[in-house]
A and B are shown apart, each in its own frame.
Chain A
Amino acid sequence: MWTFVFIDMIIFGMMFLSFMSERLRHVALYAASQLRLNEFFGLVNTLILLTSSWMVVEAVQAARRNEVRRVRRFLGLAWVLGLAFAIDKLVEYYLKIRAGVTPATNSFYSFYFFITIVHFFHVIAGMFFIAYCRGNARLRVGSERYVTGLENVGLFWHFVDVLWIFIFPLLYLVGRRL
């Protein structure tokens, strides 16, 4: 899992590099487009993902102690927070598209939609893995294989969190003019 996550990190790193490179060519356009993003959607999503990551940390520690109920509770909370992130993002997309902003509007929004949608798919995948681990917790907590599997799911979920930690300032905050 460390290898898979690292390869994915490199891919996102290339996206960030492409974004910054394109931003250099159209500084005024990117600044104007950024102003049309609502940073509070990004802020709420950051807080949601950080809290969700914390829940997964608690679930992994509970699994190591063989505490089934706590594993299920914390994974359930992590999943609900993942769902909250997804809903928040979908509302933001809906408002943007309703306002006539699409990936074809300009290159800033092409990057905005591409980076956040790829990240969104990672969130959905992570939620699937979390739900799978929660579903199997009653039968399999206590086995070394389950703990290793949950640690790997945790690694992936924290990686999704790390990506958003950079995506939020990159798209919403850096260079923002009020």
Chain B
Amino acid sequence: MLCGLTLLSVSLVEEGWHRSFASLVIVLIAAVKSRLVILRYMEANRAARHWRFLYETWNFTVTATIIIGYVLSLSGMV
């Protein structure tokens, strides 16, 4: 599933999807993949509750940083 999501990300660029939409979907796919690795592979879902909270918060913050930065660059707000 993780590899499939990765291939989907690249195909969005290669297939010439609208650049802005493709970029946002690619970042969201990365967030889903990262969350899966954190919960399933790192087993954060079985660790102390605060670690799960902190790791998921990091995942959300990094995703939001990239998306907000990208949207601001599109709108020329800086």
The residues of A with any CB-CB pair to B shorter than 8 Å are: 2, 6, 9-10, 13, 16-17, 20-21, 23-25, 27, 39, 43, 46-47, 50-51, 53-54, 56-57, 151, 154-155, 158-159, 161-162, 165-166, 168-170, 173-178
Q: Taking the complex as formed, is B19 at the interface, i.e. its CB lies under 8 A from any CB of chain A?
A: yes
Q: How far is the CB of A53 from chain B (nearest CB, A)?
A: 5
CB-CB under 8 A from B47, the residues of chain A are 2
The residues of B with any CB-CB pair to A shorter than 8 Å are: 2-3, 6-7, 9-10, 13-14, 16, 19, 23, 26-27, 29-30, 33-34, 37-38, 40-43, 47-48, 51, 54-55, 58-59, 61-62, 65-66, 68-70, 72-73, 78
- CB < 8 Å: which of B2, B23, B41, B59 contacts A154? B41
Q: Is the interface of A mostly helix, strand, loop or mixed?
A: helix
Most buried by A among B26, B38, B42, B68: B42
- CB < 8 Å: which of A16, A169, A175, A178 contacts B9? A169
CB-CB under 8 A from A151, the residues of chain B are 43
Q: How far is the CA of A107 from the CA of B49 in the complex (A)?
A: 39
B70 touches A175 (CB 8 A): yes
- CB < 8 Å: which of A10, A24, A161, A176 contacts B58? A10
B73 touches A57 (CB 8 A): no
